[in-house]
Amino acid sequence: VLIQSLSEEFDLDLSKKHRTPAVPNLTLQKTEDGPKLDEKDQSLYRKGVGKLIHMMRWSRPDVLNATREVSRFGQGANPAQAQALTREMKYCVQTPERGLLLKPTGVWDGIDKSYKFVVKGVSDSEFAKDIVTRRSVGGHTVYLCGAPVMLTSKMQRIVAASVTEAELIEGCDCAQDMMYVMRLMTYMKLQVELPMLLYMDNQGAIDILNNWSSTGRTRHMDTKVKFARELKEANIMKFVWVPTKENETDTQTKNLHGPDFEKCNAKYVGVDKYSSGGQTGVS
């Protein structure tokens, strides 16, 4: 219904097929100077963003990062940001059969209380993405028996001083969400396999979390690091390095090119067969 409303309420030129919801490697930035949308177009912009936020939250995790970007300009959006919104809406209209994929591994009979559920997390960050605030973008996914139950793409609350710090911040946020899932399962008298595995693609962050030594460069991150280390020492969580190319949350922190975008989203998005559908162009 939402996809249909995008077609009916917005003037979308569907002659060109978009393979991704946003232009690869593009980062939208706030501008003080230059043209701005008038009141009518700004209202329409907010309306489109609202629809995309709902889709992003409940059924379309493939537009997480693109929606996060356009949602930052509810006031004073410019034509370039409006164009980015239009592209994302066109992508959604052109891929109506895509959606959140829930395909859990393992089989539970609903009776055996000794059955152990598997909770896994994957996190990633994009360092200093915002050129004004220099905050990093973080994204993570929490899986329950292979099915994604929590997905995020957000601007981090504090400024990280390095790539490793940005990864630590997001890794700790992911660990908190994994603990929430574990406690929810425990509350329902169900068991979770320990240690839970959290995958990160930054070796420096992994080394810091797996060692008790602390240097002056990480003292201001002490609380987050100690929180994660205590989970490791209690055998509740284990931090594992994963190559960037195998980290599906990469698509939640940056706008990727088509092949990488499809590869990352295949982990938690039911993807229809890609076809230009007889249309004139592909981007």
Per-residue pLDDT of the chain (283 residues; tens, 9 = 90+): 899 999 999 989 999 899 999 999 988 988 888 899 999 999 999 999 999 999 999 999 999 999 999 999 999 899 999 999 999 999 999 999 899 989 899 889 999 999 999 999 999 999 999 888 899 999 999 999 999 999 999 999 989 989 999 999 999 999 999 999 999 999 999 999 999 999 999 998 998 888 766 555 566 677 888 889 899 999 999 999 999 999 999 999 999 999 999 999 988 887 655 433 334 345 5
Gap between the Cα atoms of 271 and 206, Å rounded: 32
Residues 6+ apart with CB under 8 A from 165: 218, 221
Gap between the Cα atoms of 271 and 96, Å rounded: 10
What is the predicted pLDDT for the residue at 36? 93
Which sign, positive or negative, has the C-alpha torsion 39, 42, 48, 53? negative
For residue 14, what are its two tokens?
A: 């569907």
Per DSSP, the three-state class of 249 is helix
What is the predicted pLDDT for the residue at 274? 46
Rg (CA), the chain: 20
What is the predicted pLDDT for the residue at 215? 55
What is the predicted pLDDT for the residue at 276? 38
Per DSSP, the three-state class of 202 is coil
What is the predicted pLDDT for the residue at 219? 60
Model-wide pTM > 0.85: yes
Residues 6+ apart with CB under 8 A from 39: none
